[in-house]
């Protein structure tokens, strides 16, 4: 029996959900999207470059097909690099029609 796979998401959004102690440029609600290889910030938005560097390898994983039981599907949170700050980011994948890609395909 093979594990069902979820399709990769060409479009991925990363949102800062939590910060315990602000030590840098990151703020709760900061976000960016990657569509293919293009990175977009909301108008006037900023994103901590260190948090960006920590999450980019995971974004590329989310763009590839994943097993339905993948940790990235079940627990889509990634920590920033500063343990004292405890910045938590949520990684969401979307298809081209703005629908969350949580539907399992065989």
What residue has token string 């990151």? 26
In sequence order, what are the residues at sequence separation of 6 or more whose Cβ sits closer than 8 angstroms to the Cβ of residue 48?
24, 25, 26, 30, 80, 87
Domain locations in the chain? 5-94
Structure tokens at 8: 């990769």
In a structure prediction context, what are the per-residue pLDDT tens digits for the chain, which is 106 residues long?
677 888 888 999 999 999 999 888 889 999 999 999 999 999 988 999 999 999 999 999 999 999 988 999 889 999 999 999 999 999 999 875 554 444 434 3
Q: CB-based contacts of 92: which residues, under 8 Å, 6+ apart?
A: 12, 13, 14, 15, 76, 100
Q: Looking up tokens 């039981």, which residue turns up? A: 69
pLDDT digits (tens, 9 = 90+) for 34-57: 999 999 999 988 999 999 999 999
What one-character-per-residue DSSP string does 58-81 give? Answer: HHHHHTS-EETT-HHHH--EEE-S
Q: What is the pLDDT of residue 7?
A: 86
């Amino acid at each position: 029996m093979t594990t069902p796979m979820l399709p990769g998401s060409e479009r991925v959004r990363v949102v800062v959900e939590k910060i315990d102690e602000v030590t840098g440029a990151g703020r709760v609600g900061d976000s960016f999207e990657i569509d293919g290889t293009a990175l977009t910030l909301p108008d006037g938005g900023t994103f901590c470059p260190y948090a960006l560097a920590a999450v980019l390898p995971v974004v590329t994983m989310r763009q590839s097909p994943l097993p339905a039981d993948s940790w990235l599907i079940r627990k889509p949170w990634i920590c920033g690099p500063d343990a004292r700050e405890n910045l938590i980011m949520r990684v969401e994948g979307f298809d081209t029609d703005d629908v969350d890609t949580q539907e399992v395909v065989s």
